[in-house]
Amino acid sequence: MVGAEMPMASDQVVWSEQGRLHAAYDPVETTATTVIIPANAAGASQNVIGPGATIVIASANGLVVEKAYVSAVSAPVAGVVTLTVAGYQGAITVHAAAKIFVYGSEYAKGTSNAGTSVDASFEQFSNKPIILRDKYNVNGSDTAQIGWVEVTTEAGTSGYLWYLKSEHEARIRFEDQLEMSMLEAEKAAAPITPADFGTAAGTQLTGSDGLFSALEDRGLVYSDQDFGGADGLADFDVILQELDKQGSIEENMMFLNRSASLGLDNMLASVNSAYATGSSYGVFNNSSEMALNLGFSGFRRGSYDFYKTDWKYLNDATTRGLVGDIEGVLVPAGTSTVYDQQLGQNISRPFLHVRYRASEADDRKMKSWITGSVGGNFTSDEDAMNVHFLSERCLCVQAANNFVLFKKIAS
């Protein structure tokens, strides 16, 4: 379910994700008899608490918890709503910043027209594909130059022509950049004027939302992990607690750089070392014969299964290994149900997938064609062979609040 690809016919993909089922607000302000909900508290567009509701009021640290009955609700004033409440144990504690959620309601006998109608809430997301292009050029004279060393490409093609190697490396490099762009792409804060390659006047580039950008904006970010430290297991449990709050699924993939991967191995090995015969700690069973196998590929903690793998992209000195700020990503291995605006219906899609432009007329997932007058393909009088590569695609990160980005921010 990780890395799926599927076509789309429009110039953008739009989907809607349903909001939370229950009403909660954080932060709010309280007095002895009122609760003041500020404009757009917790991203809410409107108040959904009505008279008759019963609520839990908690201090910011969660140590002071009280129950109250909502007797009246004011009309919004500049987006601010005031609830008149009566505490079940008397006056409510005054808080400059508190949290509330609705747990039920209470009505007297013989009431009519009771209750508060609440429409299903949703948030709309969109992403636009970007067009990626590259080419490899070799003049006709060089294609006829025979070398003394036989060249074998990764695809198995062989011969004594060096340009075969260069052409294949250009293809591999472009295919890598297709994936790298899905990770690194960002939406432009302001339209960008593209380089002049015969584009129409006024054309602007807007960028796209890549994985790292989407997680920085909508996902969970865990800074400066130290799983191999003395409190490594406790630190990891903090992530589990946050996954619980977000309603995450059971199975998750962890793509880590070498440092984070070894730290996680050390954390699991330190737990395992407390048992003479080895503990069953994960989705496999350790045995005494595996005592020297200190690398873990999967484990279970709480109600979650985690499958770990080293991510070469984060280690390579010519990619993210050069920077070192991203230490890994936790990706839910499953599907989520969203409302597709183009199809007009609910669909099940992998949490993380690539959408590429395609129709009956053209498939732009990965195009390759040759121009020039060399290699048996005569399209112009140019004494050269030009191998062109093109793709148009974008990444969809659904339910980004189920993802975790491990990022280093301390020096």
- Give the range of the structural domain holding residue 30, as residue numbers without chain letter: 20-107
pLDDT per residue, tens digit, the chain (411 aa), is: 456 899 988 888 988 887 777 888 989 999 999 999 998 755 454 678 889 999 999 999 999 999 999 999 998 888 899 999 999 999 999 999 999 999 999 999 988 888 777 776 778 899 999 999 999 999 988 887 776 567 666 666 676 666 777 888 899 999 999 999 999 999 999 999 888 887 777 789 999 999 999 999 999 999 988 888 888 889 999 999 999 999 899 999 999 999 999 999 888 888 766 554 444 444 455 554 544 455 568 888 988 999 999 999 999 999 999 998 999 999 998 887 776 766 677 778 889 999 999 999 999 999 999 999 987 778 999 999 999 999 999 999 999 999 999 999 876
Domain boundary among 107, 134, 165: 107
Domain shared by 141 and 186, yes or no: yes
Question: How confident is the model at residue 281, as a pLDDT?
Answer: 46
Residue with tokens 């006056």: 91
pLDDT at 402: 94
User: What distance separates the 2 farthest-apart alpha carbons in the chain?
Assistant: 98
Say whether 303 sits in a helix, a strand or coil: coil
Question: Where would I find the beta strands (DSSP E) of 40-129?
Answer: 53-59, 65-73, 81-87, 95-105, 122-127
Tell me the DSSP string of 176-220: HHHHHHHHH--EEEEEEPPP-SSPPTT--EEE---HHHHHHHHSE
Count of domains forming the chain: 2
63 and 101 co-located in one domain: yes
DSSP, collapsed to helix, strand or coil, labels residue 352 as strand
Are residue 103 and residue 157 in the same domain, yes or no? no
pLDDT of residue 1: 43
Q: Mark whether 93 and 217 lie in a shared domain.
A: no
Give the separation between CA 235 and CA 218, rounded to whole angstroms: 21
DSSP 8-state class, residue 151: E
The answer to whether residues 81 and 171 belong to one domain is: no
CA-to-CA distance for 118 and 100, rounded, in angstroms? Answer: 17
pLDDT (0 to 100) of residue 314 = 95
Dihedrals phi, psi of 114, to nearest 5 degrees: -85, 160
**Other CB atoms within 10 Å distance of the CB of residue 302:** 13
Considering the domain architecture, whether residues 77 and 175 belong to the same structural domain is answered as: no
- CA–CA separation, 264 vs 225, rounded Å? 10
Domain co-membership, 99 together with 169: no
Query: What tokens does 97 get?
Result: 């910043």
Q: Are strands 251-256 and 304-310 parallel, antiparallel or unpaired?
A: parallel
Q: Strand, coil or helix: what is 272? A: helix
Same domain, 202 and 304: yes
Query: Has residue 114 been placed in a domain?
Result: no
Classify residue 73: in a domain, yes or no.
yes
**351: which 2 tokens?**
């949490």
Residue 84 resides in a domain: yes
- The rounded distance, in Å, linking the Cα atoms of 173 and 330 is 26
Q: Residue 131: helix, strand or coil by DSSP?
A: strand
User: Is there a contact between 371 and 388 (Cβ–Cβ < 8 Å)?
Assistant: yes
